[in-house]
Amino acid sequence: LGRAPSVWGEVVHGLKRGRELGYPTANLSHDLEGFVPADGVYAGWLVDVDGTRRISYPAAISVGTNPTFDDVHSRQVEAYVLDETDLDLYGHHVEVRFVERVRGMTAFDGIDALLVQMADDVERTRAILR
Ligand code: FMN
């Protein structure tokens, strides 16, 4: 396509489980603009486009229904900004740019296995965006 595909939407409140996991994510509202790529994990950028400024943050992005848990039923796009634990983007309009696919979405047997994989996703994302 010549450039990274993007979606645009507002950051809404998710289930807040990501914070407990150590990977808080900015969840995009479901009425986003643009085409969401296939379920999986991607390296990319979360661009805060509020006001006249654009601030880009490196992010590990998850697309899917969070199949490890049985409480999310609709597909969602969520972005973990690398090394950020208290960035407050609620209500902000953001662009999520998908740079490279890292892997498919997986239903893990438990949280420990998911956390091991997410740590690896973060390192791969860091290497891709460097
Ligand atoms: N959820 C899964 O069920 N399987 C996965 O393979 C998976 N991979 C993820 C990889 C990354 C880099 C990130 C940021 C999230 C991933 N997730 C995955 C989604 C997490 O389950 C989700 O972020 C967490 O449950 C928090 O959800 P919440 O924002 O609704 O609280």
Q: What is the ipTM of this complex?
A: 0.97
Give me ligand 1 centre to Cα 66, in Å.
6
Q: Is the beta carbon of 46 within 6 A of some atom in ligand 1?
A: no
41 neighbors 62 (Cβ within 8 angstroms): yes
Give me ligand 1 centre to Cα 56, in Å.
21
In angstroms, the CA 77 to CA 94 distance is: 12
Domain ranges of the chain: 6-129
pLDDT over 70, % of the chain: 98
pLDDT tops 80 at residue 56: yes
What pLDDT is recorded for position 15?
81
The CATH architecture annotation of domain 6-129 reads Beta Barrel (2.40)
Span 83-105, average pLDDT: 95
Q: Is the beta carbon of 63 within 6 A of some atom in ligand 1?
A: no
Give me ligand 1 centre to Cα 129, in Å.
20
In angstroms, the CA 122 to CA 85 distance is: 14
Average pLDDT value over all residues in the chain: 93
